[in-house]
Amino acid sequence: MPLVTTEKMLMDAQKEGFAVGAFNVENLEMVQAVVEAAEELKSPVILQTSAKTVQYANFSYFHSLVKAAADGASVPIALHLDHGNSFELAMQALRAGYTSIMIDGSHESYEDNICLSKKVVDACSPSRISVEAELGKVGGKEDDIDGGDGGLTEPIEAKEFVERTNVTSLAVAIGTSHGVYKGVPKLDLERLSEIRKVVSVPLVLHGGSGLSEESIKECIKRGICKVNYATELRIAFTEGVKQALSNTPNIIDPKKFTSVGREKVKEMAIEKIKTCGSVGKAIVPAL
Ligand code: G3H
Ligand code: ZN
């Protein structure tokens, strides 16, 4: 099936009260693992690459990989730029065929964030490519990029932000953070419900790794429609590779150890898709 955008996928999720897992992929094996997991569970899925990942191998490599996986799949798959940090990077993703783009202007002032996000929406809307923005600051570090501290999303600002930018989804800061949590994260669930009351577009939860199943399910009940997972997948892949290399130190065929990483990522993606409640929710678009 061709790649789909995230707009309809997330609106369907919002209507039915589930979330779509959005998984950061770094190589061929992670792409295969996530798509196999989604296919087995008949779930829609989002594969995403961060700004650092497309610096490592460019947009064209990842677009080709994910498109090849989607062409052979029967479930809807979207390819998303995660934490795009400039207008230029967002346009590179658009030109490469990404079907969904995050512009992260959360480090800018409120007005500059609106201006940047709207500029990306205006550029993407003729081709109907979905745009996610972030308001407030998700803490922690992703790919060495510091999200900064605090700065939770204000519901009133969120309402105005969505109205003025026309983004198709909004990432909110409610106490989650990127990377490995130190201690138990304190989520401001009331704030999430308040945001949902005044914002109609689907809401996105960043920093999914390390959150308990209960917390994620509660966030979905309160309006989250997309949950981002990166760190736990990276750990799963690396653990698998390490395990294979330490069990058989004389391996020289990379396939022999990367395939073990791939299996670990698939197991992890299966667990997360189940938590998101999207099993059996693959809706095949009408021709
Ligand atoms: O944008 C990606 C995520 O928010 C992933 O966060 O590494 O904590 O799973 P995580
Ligand atoms: Zn994130």
Q: How far is the CA of 53 from the centre of ligand 2 (A)?
A: 13
Q: Is the CB of 6 under 6 A from ligand 1?
A: no
Which atom of ligand 1 approaches the CA of 179 most closely? 8
Does ligand 1 have an atom closer than 6 angstroms to the CB of 207?
Answer: yes
- Closest atom of ligand 1 relative to the 205 alpha carbon: 4
pLDDT at 146 over 70: no
Query: Using one digit for the tens of pLDDT, what is the confidence trace for 258-273?
Result: 999 999 999 999 999 9
- pLDDT for the residue numbered 19: 98
Distance 87 CA to ligand 1 centre (A): 21
Structure tokens at 78: 């979207």
49 lines ligand 1 (CB under 6 A): no
Closest C-alpha residue for ligand 1 atom 6: 207
pLDDT band at 183 (very low <50, low <70, confident <90, very high): confident
Query: Averaged over 15-22, what is the pLDDT?
Result: 98
| Residue 57 pLDDT exceeds 80 | yes
Least confident of 35-39, 51-55, 71-75, 146-150: 146-150
From 6, 20, 24, mutation site for ligand 1 pocket: most ligand atoms within 8 A of C-beta: 24
- pLDDT above 80 (res 145): no
Average pLDDT over residues 1-27: 98
Ligand 1 mean position to 177 CA, how many Å? 8
* Residue 179: predicted pLDDT: 93
Query: Does residue 220 surpass a pLDDT of 80?
Result: yes
Identify whether 82 is a catalytic site residue. yes
pLDDT tens, 97-106?
A: 999 999 999 9
Q: What's the pLDDT at 140?
A: 73
> What percent of the chain is modeled with pLDDT above 90?
92
Domains parsed from the chain with CATH numbers: 6-276 (3.20.20.70)
Instruction: Give mean pLDDT, residues 166-186.
Output: 94
Q: Which pLDDT score, from 0 to 100, does residue 148 have?
A: 57
Residue range 199-223: average pLDDT? 98
Split at pLDDT 50, 70, 90, the class of 139 is confident
Give the mean pLDDT of 235-252.
97
At residue 161, does pLDDT exceed 60? Answer: yes
Longest distance between any two alpha carbons in the chain, whole Å: 60
Active-site entry in 12, 71, 82, 146: 82
- Report CA-CA distances (Å) from 236 to 19, 56, 260, 282: 22, 20, 10, 25
CA 1 – ligand 1 centroid, Å:
27
pLDDT of 285 reads 64
